[in-house]
Amino acid sequence: MKKPTPMASIVRVIDLVKDYHMGTQTVHVLKGLNLSFEEGDFIALMGPSGSGKSTLLNVLGCLDRPTSGAYFLGEVNVAKMDDDQLSEVRCTYLGFIFQSYNLLPQYTVVENIELPLLYQGITLDQKTKDRCIDLAEMVGLGDRLDHRPLQLSGGQQQRVAIARSLVNDPHLILGDEPTGNLDSKTSVEIMQMLRNLNQAGKTIIMVTHENDIAEWARRVVRLRDGRVESDIRNDTRGRVG
């Protein structure tokens, strides 16, 4: 077993509270969470529906702002940022993988991968295109560069999504039930790919409700009713291969 190296805390959540207002009622979804995730870790967020796991992922993904509390992404507290700043953070530091892939149907594989770069405001040239092609090849779709999502299987689409999430070299990759729409064989392929990414140093946080999938992660955080129920390191029990 490798000696655990001291890793930097890449995500720190302090007293995170998230309330939703539905008419006159207020729903307290996150009730003061305190969590810290290290760089290079692979975390699974689990819990029954209503536990707040998806909400937590949204906050971590800067898609939603907490009602109160702090969220340190690296050194910066992003909890109080405005919409434009959060958008900036998303396209610069974060990568997303969704359950239903969420590729744009009118774009090819390469164009889909390229999308986050567009919003960074950089000029798209041959260099960036090459980078996207490299990523496509890395996920095994080098021969389908001009295909559109409709022409790809679910697994292939998810692989494109993974490539897309990597194009901006993010600090953090967030996955929302990444294998939810895939069969078990393809799920294994995808999880293997994520594990490889993690082993290469990428920090991954994913929400899942399947124990099988959670076993691929190195740390499992279970939520219940907006609070942390359990927080277990998986390293020693990790799957082989």
Residues binding another protein (CB under 8 A) = 58, 61, 63-64, 83-84, 87-88, 90-92, 96, 98, 102-107, 111, 115-116, 118-126, 164, 168
CB-CB contact of 172 with 10 (8 Å): yes
* Cα gap 55→52, rounded to integer Å: 5
Please report how close the Cβ of residue 2 comes to another protein at its closest, in angstroms: 34
Q: Within 10 A of 95 (CB to CB), how many other CB atoms are there?
A: 27
- In the bound complex, what is the minimum distance in angstroms from residue 61's beta carbon to another protein? 7
Q: CB burial class (10 A; 0-12, 13-18, 19+) of residue 65?
A: middle
Smallest distance from the beta carbon of 60 to another protein, in angstroms? 13
Query: Taking the mean position of all CA atoms in its chain, how far away is CA 98?
Result: 8
Q: Which residue number, 38 or 55, has a Cβ lying nearer to another protein?
A: 55
Sheet of 94-97: strand order equals 94-97, 172-176, 203-207, 42-46, 219-224, 227-233
- Least distance to another protein from the beta carbon of 109, Å? 12
Which tokens sit at 234?
Answer: 């998986």
| Pick 166 or 220: Cβ nearer another protein | 166
Q: Which is nearer to another protein, 9 or 102 (CB)?
A: 102
CB nearer to another protein: pick between 161 and 221: 161
